[in-house]
Amino acid sequence: MKHLYETVAENILAHIEQGVYRSGERLPGIRRLSSQMNVSVSTALEAYRLLEDQGRIQARARSGYYVSTVHRLAITEPDISEPPTMPSRVTGQSLTRQILLAAKDPYQINLGSSVPSPAFLPTRVLQQATQKVVRLFEKRCFDTDELLGNQELRRQIAKRMVELNCSVSPDDIVITHGARDAVRLALMAVCKPGDVIAIESPTFYGLLQVIESCGMEALEIPTHPRDGVSIEALQLAIEQWPIKACLLISNYNNPLGSCMSDERKKNIVGLLEKNGIPLIEDDVYGDLGFGLKRPSVAKAWSQHGEVLYCSSFAKTLSPGLRVGWLVPGRHMKKVENLKYMLHQATPTLNQLIVAHLLEQGGYDRYLRQVRQDYAQSVARMVKAVSRFFPEGTKVTQPEGGFALWVELPEHVDAMELHRQASLEGIIIAPGPLFSATQKKYGNFIRLSCAVPWNDRLERALKKLGDMAGDLMAG
């Protein structure tokens, strides 16, 4: 049942979209809104907070609420992908490691990493939480915890999963060393070396590295930059190949930024469960949506426990904490055994810090602000690409996360652009990294928007666009 404040929020949003309130314009005060909508002051405040959480409005100290300045531009997006139609071994990931190493240089302008700049992370909040946790728990911070992970952290995660319509208890959750570790455990629990894994195309190179490390083969499935993986193509692939698992980023795919609708998630889960194929769902970006409501998860439609849900706090709180989690469904016992054999417990102090932030509300307060920050950063980057890059460039406009997928004119070699840009102190991620064999997406690049906006960054984007134009001409 819809809450009254949600109805009020929808009415305000409708007024914004109809142009009653324009971008950057001040909205009615709380008491005035309460009178206009004939609701209580607390309901009006909750409506504004909901819209603020989703980045549609902004609160300014001692001034009130304003319409967010973020809006979509009339720019052409890339078409649905056309990957190879046969499974292949994952190769060439050593190049990925070289690029990631270069991105660590503090003097570079790092547009190539999927790790947020510290400017987008709650470093002050983390410092305070760490000090408080050490005072509260003392020696326990440095002792080993349970094999499945800290009980309080699992309880807090379970509460959030229940809000996503997933019937999950703390005992159904395994804490891991980040999402990549969760994906590795999930793959090892349901597959063996040599098995074929269906993946989106393009997909995050980190997932390709996990598939490679497990000795498995990847089958790339056509994926739309807005709607996600093609269900029709996935069904055809299931009929043609012995697919043993499907690995998808359900919300705000990296690098595309695609987000599957509820209906598509339900249909994909139904298709896979009908064919006895486990779905490994990576949802690391789900909390970073710009919309009115957090997107759903595919696991909510699982009837037989065949969705293994993976996530982490690396893209939100801190990549350095290395705290992720896995909900393995009916594969729990296998995952538990694998964790015991591979690395046993996850660092206790990091788990206690995250549990504290979840319990005290610090995590959600941080999300309210950072969603707006990312929405603005993505909009600025899209605008800069449209201004500075060659005619014919296409770019995604994601509604969450912080990655842009840019399709350059056909004759622009992304690998050569990466090489030239790195000589100018600009790091980008060339498109071939996002394909299993690195033979696709030769004229694509991924840009990270999780970098502070300043004049130096704007000049770098103009330089990058000029270099792309020169490559096109030459």
Domain assignment of residue 82, yes or no: no
Domain assignment of residue 261, yes or no: yes
Tell me which of 323, 345, 363 is where a domain ends: 363
Residue 342, pLDDT score: 83
Residue tagged 């499907």 (tokens) = 246
Average pLDDT of the residues in 103-120: 85
Residues 284 and 347 in one domain: yes
Tell me which of 363, 389, 423 is where a domain ends: 363
Please enumerate in sequence order all residues whose Cβ is within 8 A of that of 403, keeping only pairs 6 or more positions apart, or say none: 114, 252, 254, 255, 256, 257, 446, 447, 448, 449
Residue 161 CA from chain centroid, whole number = 17
Enter the pTM of the model.
Answer: 0.85
Instruction: Please report the sign of the dihedral spanned by the C-alpha atoms of residue 201, residue 205, residue 208, residue 212.
Output: positive
Residue 143, pLDDT score: 77
Residues 116 and 188 in one domain: no
Residues 94 and 146 in one domain: no
**CB crowding 448-471: b at 16 or more within 10 Å, else e:** bbbbeeeeebeebbebbbebbbeb
| CATH code: domain of residue 95 | 3.90.1150.10
Residues 144 and 291 in one domain: yes
Residues 99 and 206 in one domain: no
* pLDDT over 80 (residue 53): no
* pLDDT over 80 (residue 98): no
Residues 376 and 262 in one domain: no
Domain assignment of residue 311, yes or no: yes
How far apart, in Å, are the Cα atoms of 137 and each of 45, 86, 125, 229, 318? 36, 53, 18, 45, 21
Determine the 3-state secondary structure of 333 from DSSP.
helix
Residue 234, pLDDT score: 97
Contact predicate 271/238, CB 8 Å? yes
Residue 137, pLDDT score: 82
Q: pLDDT class for 72, splitting at 50, 70, 90?
A: low
Domain assignment of residue 73, yes or no: no
- Cα torsion 73, 78, 80, 86 to 10°: value is -150
Residue 14, pLDDT score: 85
Whole-number mean pLDDT of the chain? 91
* pLDDT over 80 (residue 22): no
Range of the domain at 33: 4-67
Residues 291 and 349 in one domain: yes
Instruction: State how far the Cα of 282 lies from the Cα of 250, in Å rounded to an integer.
Output: 6
Q: Which of 69-78, 341-350, 357-366, 398-407 has the lowest mean pLDDT?
A: 69-78
Q: pLDDT class for 341, splitting at 50, 70, 90?
A: confident
Domain assignment of residue 80, yes or no: no
Residues 283 and 241 in one domain: yes
Instruction: State how far the Cα of 242 lies from the Cα of 209, in Å rounded to an integer.
Output: 21
Instruction: State how far the Cα of 170 lies from the Cα of 174, in Å rounded to an integer.
Output: 9
Structural domains of the chain, count: 3
Are β-strands 279-282 and 307-312 bridged in parallel, bridged antiparallel, or unpaired? parallel
H runs (alpha helix) in 194-324: 205-213, 231-240, 262-274
Residue 457, pLDDT score: 95
Domain assignment of residue 75, yes or no: no
Burial class (CB in 10 A: 0-12, 13-18, 19+), 345: middle
Residues 133 and 247 in one domain: yes
Domain assignment of residue 442, yes or no: yes
Residues 137 and 106 in one domain: no
One-letter amino acid for residue 144 of the chain = T
Residue 73, pLDDT score: 62
Residues 175 and 297 in one domain: yes
* pLDDT over 80 (residue 69): no
* pLDDT over 80 (residue 292): no
Tell me which of 316, 335, 363 is where a domain ends: 363
| CATH code: domain of residue 53 | 1.10.10.10
Q: pLDDT class for 386, splitting at 50, 70, 90?
A: very high
Domain assignment of residue 81, yes or no: no
**pLDDT tens digits, residue range 145-199?**
788 899 999 999 999 999 999 999 999 999 999 999 999 999 999 999 999 999 9
Are β-strands 307-312 and 324-327 bridged in parallel, bridged antiparallel, or unpaired? antiparallel
Residue 291, pLDDT score: 76
Residues 330 and 227 in one domain: yes
